[in-house]
Chain A
Amino acid sequence: MTPETRAAVAEAPAASAARARAMRRRRSAATWLRGAAPFATLLLLWYGLTARGTLPAIFLPPPGDVARVVWELLRDGSLLGHMGASLGRVLVGLAVSVPMGIAFGVGMGLSRGLARAVEPVASFLNSLSGIAWLPLAITWFGIGWVSVTFILWNTIFFLVLFNTLVGVRAVPRIFEHSLLTLGGTRRHIIFQVLIPGALPSIVTGIRMSMGFGWRAILAAEMISSTNGLGFLIYNAANFHQTDTILVGILLIGIIWLTTDRLILVPIERWTVERWGLVWKPS
């Protein structure tokens, strides 16, 4: 084997890997394009409908106006401020409600008596949507972040609780028994059997509650807040600033889609793969 051929042989895998990488890149570019094409079409349609004043700007402002408003709101920092307020509220709501929901769900899963006592009331409160609490929340806490957090708590807590409960109940008893046989304590059972076993269901609950929570917070901000994206668009409606409303709407949709696709769905998939049912009841 001459040095050249040896080099060629050594190179071959590298070259094919590079080619595969390029192909993959081209393919991902293609899927990206295919995903963007519908939105580009919609943008063109929007432009066509509004550019010549076919539709009055107060009804549907042209894309250019909306882009200008984005730029203005970005420059005076208010867009990031509203965005930060909404996202911050959701994070606070999650941080307060999710651990509580998991704790109560596991507790109810462990104790049949507790579950029997709490379940009817909790399932009523679960079907009472978060936003229906708003008038009472305003009476109790006034207008402000406590009210909004309370609404979010009501939306997230009960959904996480019931999903945890369903998850805990679905964990096969045999795992619990085997841990007990091996001398495991109650704490071992909770942290090594019940919570990991219920994790796929818990994560689904968190994802669902985020969907409802993101909707509830917009309504809450419209009524009882002076900042946040909900306030931004509702306030703009009072002044008939349709362009600002569209900026807010687009941002709300984009934020939710990116959170869901890039954070929640991967986590859900990962938990189901990692912790999902390893044992199927026959």
Chain B
Amino acid sequence: MSESVYGELRAMIGEEQEPVVAVDEVCGQMIRHWCEAMEDANPMYTDEEYARNGRYGGIIAPPQMIWAWSLPPLWPAEAQSRGQRKLLETCARGGYDQVIDTDVELEFLAPLRPGDRMTATAKVTGVSEEKRTGLGKGHFIVVEMAYRNQREELVCIQRMTLLIYKARGEDDPQ
């Protein structure tokens, strides 16, 4: 069963997944909530007056916040359609029901401004054979996400390596 899932995962390489339109526009409130959680006092993100006189002419979101606009809302369930759904469903069918990120690369190409709405398109670019890890047996999967704003400008390219695994049970001692 696991072998056939590996084949299915390999077959997904290079195939663009369904684009996901962010449920929220970039906005000052979400930026402030982010800065509050990260204790980030950069005035370019939250001080309108400072930012207005700066190189962007207004506040921008922390570039690393791009990631937050690709995640599905908790509710309603039908809005959870997401670019990685096919990937995660395929993994779950093979019994790999846990997922963690192991490597992240973010390349920032344009600023995120309030009022912008991101669309993220994911593509699997690599799948490893099953490996035994400290967490359990699993596959390493490389996913590339391209984020574009409403003007079709490429804002960020994100490359992530995910480990999808079966949590180690009594039948799979380390």
A binds B: no
**A residues apposed to B, CB below 8 Å:** none
**B residues apposed to A, CB below 8 Å:** none
